Amino acid sequence: MGNKNCQQFQSAVAEYLVRHRSVLDVISKLQESTAHVNRAIVNSVTACGCLKIDASKQLIPNDATFLEMASYMQTHLKGSLCPTCSENIQEEIGDTLFYLAGICALLELDLDKIICKENERLETLGIYNLT
């Protein structure tokens, strides 16, 4: 019941993971690519300005239930990504997915099964998954 695209992606990554075949290289490339995602988001605020961050303390009433908390939590984001920033962030996320799939391939783990298992856990536990 898996996702054929995910399985095909992991197979392609396993095939093309040549230059950085060592698990140590792939781990460091994953960390680097995650930093690039973060930097692309920061650039959308600091260089482009299509996003703004208006961060302040999350105000949650003391009597709010756990289920009500989501309605009080804010993203702190104002605006929306311009097409250029959206494309840049998507490319960086794609690189991150490549190295994540590479780690799974090297460790003989099935990324699709991991995603399905996590989704089942989310569906079973719902909001209580994060407590």
pLDDT for the residue 127: 67
pLDDT for the residue 126: 74
In the chain the first and final C-alpha atoms are separated, in Å, by 28
SS3 98: helix
At 43, list the tokens.
């650039």
Q: Quick check: 2 and 113 in contact, CB under 8 A?
A: yes
At 38, list the tokens.
């973060």
pTM equals 0.84
pLDDT for the residue 101: 96
pLDDT for the residue 129: 63
- On the CB side of 37, how many CA atoms lie within 13 Å of its CA? 16
pLDDT for the residue 130: 61
- What is the block-wise mean pLDDT of the chain (131 residues), using blocks of 10 residues? 81 86 93 98 98 94 87 94 98 97 95 93 76 55
pLDDT for the residue 96: 97
- On the CB side of 5, how many CA atoms lie within 13 Å of its CA? 2
Contacts of 106 (CB under 8 A, 6+ apart): 17, 21, 23, 26
Which domains, and CATH codes, for the chain?
4-49+80-130 (1.10.287.1080)
pLDDT for the residue 28: 95
pLDDT for the residue 125: 78
pLDDT for the residue 79: 97
Neighbours of 64 (CB within 10 A): 13
Query: What is the maximum alpha-carbon separation in the chain?
Result: 55
Instruction: Check residue 22 and report its DSSP letter.
Output: S
Neighbours of 103 (CB within 10 A): 17
